[in-house]
């Protein structure tokens, strides 16, 4: 493709702004061309082609002359002999300001060390907030760079792509510029996860080949139905982008086949009231999918996006997602803040007054106010990435304090947003006065009251279930401390028993005296090390009482019991990778154990299993091998007095061959037709495998159901449980630990 000519650029601007200052555009073109001279880009094209392409992207957004000129000039000060003074003399103060903002941003190498990245991001937003047009040029600049990313050296590509997906794409989305956001994500996805991109694209093509005709049929059907009711509407069918499909597969952990809405349709009408007429007609014609109807016309998103969304079961049983909006809403959905940045009365040379109605711009101002108050840069970046870019929900404390959280947040996130101590001691929640699970997704306007219990530690599993950075960090800190306390407690029990067996007195003071010999700094360190199995209890007894005779131990099954007692650790892996190491035995470094769940040296607790993510222990049974239990399993109480049978085990998973693990859940469901089918469907849709179901009906109203299932890990299991809890037919869901 040749470089864009001077007259082409002018024609593009004229097509939407007949009052354009042609002379200004021409002068900018010539000035930039001369300034860049013979510079080349990585692709070998003349460098000047790049600012022109960026300007062309902005003409698609129908922007004003100053923005187009700034785009043409945006690299001159940084990369050529041009100066800001010269630009001001030739093009005026408004354009100078824009170019200056762009030059500053260009110096920010966003993806660098995290702190620097946060700091740069802050500068980026501060530069933008002076004039939103700086952001528009920057986004167009990034888009052209992404389109030509294959010319950049491979080691730089990934960094640029990550920065695009983490910062620029969400920023475009936050500003309501959907098309731009999607293309940025798409281009970045191709570089960050090439295999995933290729797979999803291939599957999409197969589906389109199979069902492409359906798109045409649905478009035609819809148009006819609407015309028959006297509604003038345009209908466009389109296929979703690979990135949004892949993200949905990741987020909901579903397979490609389970995705319902690969095709989406846009119905564009003249007036807002027509949107509701279309909706009524569509719902009368095809069954709607419950839970998928959203009205962003009555409550617009924060970036001003307005539309009605609904999903119906269309012809041929295919699910069809519809977006219904007016022409004006469509423009704002495509161009976002750029749609507001048009001339008010088309007089060239005047700076644009940004329309007051742009909420996206207000968001930006608010964000920058937050920056001025200044968290640490890393925290700011974490907050921004996690929170500012998702749609927010606004919730209240009982006293009316407003807490803004990202969409998908739970009462746990809410508790940490109020105060770290509130989060750490949270045990329950009331939403709008009703008791609700701590994993409920919060909605706009919810009033949340947190029930607390002091001395409580947050469960480690929360870390993967919360959505705010603040909650995640606090939980990690609290669980580390709690886990250490648990290990120390376990270590103390093991040691007390070991000393009792050796008929010697045990006290912290005696232990303190032996710290040097044990090469540990504090009594707690020793206790935790024993609890973790890093230190064998017998060695501690020996360090405290050096003259003690070592106790004689019987061997079992021809295997040296001494080895089995030295707190061996097991690695639980996949199939043939299962091995446990017996220290001190030549050649016994790794005894392979085949398969899982058969009568083998390693099996899982028959009453409830264990899944990756659980902390686990092994109990050695002479002649039977090892049974694995989650650490919180009540069945372990039976082995309390046999410390030598306890073994520290840890997960050792092979990512290349993922495997399912057994778990058990118990639920109480209301007796009504189809409730069991609904339970099993939810589990199946979430990719859980059901092995066995037991039902017991204590009274005519309720059924107790116990389900043995296999899942990938704790996160997967928690996701299934929280999905089941959402259903009104189910009054209680708990995991069962044998």
Catalytic residues: 78-79
| Helix (H), strand (E) at residue 492 | helix 469-501
Tokens matching residue 665: 């859940």
Number of Cβ atoms within 10 Å of the Cβ of 446: 20
d(CA 592, CA 612): 20
d(CA 564, CA 552): 13
Q: What are phi and psi of 303, to 5 degrees?
A: -100, 25
- Taking CA 365 as the corner, what is the angle to CA 410 and CA 102, rounded to the nearest 5 degrees? 120
Four-residue CA torsion sign, 461, 576, 554, 621: positive
SS3 per-residue string spanning 663-720 = EEEEEEEECCCCHHHHHHHHHHHCCCEEEEEEEEEEECCEEEEEEEEEECCHHHHHHH
DSSP code, position 241 = P
Coil, strand or helix at 588: coil
- Taking CA 283 as the corner, what is the angle to CA 279 and CA 288, rounded to the nearest 5 degrees? 115
Tokens matching residue 399: 């006293």
DSSP code, position 575 = G
d(CA 68, CA 62): 9
Coil, strand or helix at 82: coil
d(CA 139, CA 185): 12
Task: Find the DSSP H helices in 438-583.
Answer: 469-501, 508-513, 515-518, 523-532, 537-544, 561-565
71 within 8 A of 99, measured Cβ to Cβ: no
d(CA 202, CA 168): 27
Contacts of 454 (CB under 8 A, 6+ apart): 425
Place of tokens 């300001």: 97
E strand map for 605-685: 616-621, 625-630, 646-651, 661-670
Q: In 3D, which of 334, 307, 332 has the Cα closest to residue 322?
A: 307
506 within 8 A of 512, measured Cβ to Cβ: no
Q: In 3D, which of 406, 403, 442, 441 has the Cα closest to residue 422?
A: 403
E strand map for 183-257: 234-239
Task: Find the DSSP H helices in 61-168.
Answer: 65-73, 76-79, 84-91, 93-106, 114-130, 132-147, 154-163
Place of tokens 């692709």: 43
The residues pairing with 706 across neighbouring beta strands, listed in sequence order, are 666, 694
716 within 8 A of 728, measured Cβ to Cβ: no
Q: In 3D, which of 305, 304, 301, 306 has the Cα closest to residue 276?
A: 306
DSSP code, position 638 = G
| Beta-sheet pairing, 319-326 with 263-269 | parallel
Distance between first and last Cα of the chain: 68
User: 107-138: buried (b, 16+ CB within 10 Å) or exposed (e) per residue?
Assistant: ebebbeeeebbbbbbbbbbebbbebbbbbbbb
The residues pairing with 710 across neighbouring beta strands, listed in sequence order, are 662, 689
């Amino acid at each position: 493709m040749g470089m864009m000519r001077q007259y082409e650029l002018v024609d593009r601007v004229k097509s939407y702004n007949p009052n354009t200052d042609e002379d200004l555009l021409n002068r900018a073109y010539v000035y930039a061309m001369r300034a860049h001279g013979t510079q080349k880009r990585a692709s070998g094209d003349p460098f000047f082609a790049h600012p022109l392409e960026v300007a062309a992207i902005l003409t698609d957004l129908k922007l004003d002359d100053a923005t187009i000129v700034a785009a043409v000039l945006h690299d001159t000060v940084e990369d050529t002999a041009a100066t800001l003074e010269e630009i001001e003399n030739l093009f005026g103060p408004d354009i100078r300001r824009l170019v200056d903002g762009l030059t500053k941003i260009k110096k920010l190498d966003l993806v660098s060390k995290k702190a620097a990245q946060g700091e740069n991001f802050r500068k980026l937003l501060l530069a933008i907030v002076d004039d939103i047009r700086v952001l528009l040029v920057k986004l167009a600049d990034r888009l052209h760079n992404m389109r030509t990313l294959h010319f950049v050296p491979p080691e730089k590509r990934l960094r640029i792509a990550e920065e695009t997906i983490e910062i620029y794409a969400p920023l475009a989305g936050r500003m309501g510029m959907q098309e731009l956001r999607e293309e940025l994500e798409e281009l970045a996805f191709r570089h960050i996860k090439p295999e995933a991109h290729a797979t999803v694209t291939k599957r999409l093509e197969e589906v389109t080949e199979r069902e492409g005709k359906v798109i045409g049929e649905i478009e035609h059907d819809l148009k006819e139905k609407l015309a028959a009711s006297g509604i003038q509407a345009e209908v466009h069918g389109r296929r979703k982008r690979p990135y949004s499909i892949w993200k949905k597969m990741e987020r909901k952990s579903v397979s490609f086949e389970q995705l319902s809405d690969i095709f989406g349709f846009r119905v564009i009408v003249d007036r807002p009231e027509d949107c509701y007429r279309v909706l009524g007609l569509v719902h009368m014609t095809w069954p709607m999918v419950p839970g998928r109807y959203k009205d962003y016309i009555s409550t617009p998103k924060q970036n001003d996006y307005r539309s009605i969304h609904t999903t119906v079961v269309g012809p041929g049983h295919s699910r069809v997602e519809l977006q219904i909006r007016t022409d004006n809403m469509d423009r704002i959905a495509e161009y976002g803040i750029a749609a507001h940045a048009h001339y008010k009365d088309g007089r060239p040379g005047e700076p644009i007054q940004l329309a007051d109605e742009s909420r996206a711009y207000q968001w930006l101002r608010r964000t920058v106010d937050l920056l001025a108050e200044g968290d640490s840069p890393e925290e700011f970046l974490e907050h921004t990435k996690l929170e500012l870019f998702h749609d927010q929900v606004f919730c209240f404390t009982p006293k009316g304090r407003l807490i803004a959280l990202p969409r998908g947040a739970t009462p746990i996130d809410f508790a940490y947003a109020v105060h770290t101590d509130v989060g750490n001691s949270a045990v329950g929640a009331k939403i709008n006065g009703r008791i609700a699970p701590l994993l409920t997704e919060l909605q706009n306007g919810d009033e949340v009251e947190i029930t607390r219990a002091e001395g409580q530690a947050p469960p480690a599993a929360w870390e993967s279930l919360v959505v705010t950075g603040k909650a995640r960090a606090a939980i990690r800190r609290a669980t580390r401390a709690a886990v250490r306390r648990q290990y120390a407690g376990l270590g103390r029990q093991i040691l007390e028993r070991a000393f009792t067996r050796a008929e010697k007195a045990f006290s912290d003071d005696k232990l303190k005296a032996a710290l040097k010999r044990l090469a540990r700094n504090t009594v707690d360190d020793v206790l935790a090390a024993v609890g973790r199995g890093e230190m064998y209890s017998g060695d501690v007894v020996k360090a405290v009482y050096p003259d003690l005779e070592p106790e004689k131990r019987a061997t079992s099954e021809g295997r040296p019991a001494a080895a089995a007692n030295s707190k061996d650790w097991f690695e639980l892996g996949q199939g043939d990778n299962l091995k446990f190491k017996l220290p001190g035995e030549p050649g016994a470094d790794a005894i392979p154990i085949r398969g899982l769940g058969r009568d083998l040296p390693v099996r899982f607790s028959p009453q409830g299993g264990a899944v990756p993510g659980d902390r686990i222990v092994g109990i050695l049974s002479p002649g039977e091998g090892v049974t694995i239990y989650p650490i919180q399993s009540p069945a372990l109480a039976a082995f309390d007095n046999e410390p030598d049978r306890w073994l520290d085990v840890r997960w050792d998973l092979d990512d290349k061959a993922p495997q399912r693990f057994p778990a058990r859940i118990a639920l109480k469901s209301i007796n009504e037709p189809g409730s069991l089918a609904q339970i099993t469907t939810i589990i199946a849709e979430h990719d859980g495998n059901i092995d066995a179901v037991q039902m017991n009906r204590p009274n005519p109203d309720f059924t107790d159901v116990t389900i043995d299932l296999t899942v990938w890990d704790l996160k997967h299991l928690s996701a299934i449980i929280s999905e089941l809890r959402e259903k009104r037919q189910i009054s209680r869901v708990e995991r069962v630990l044998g």
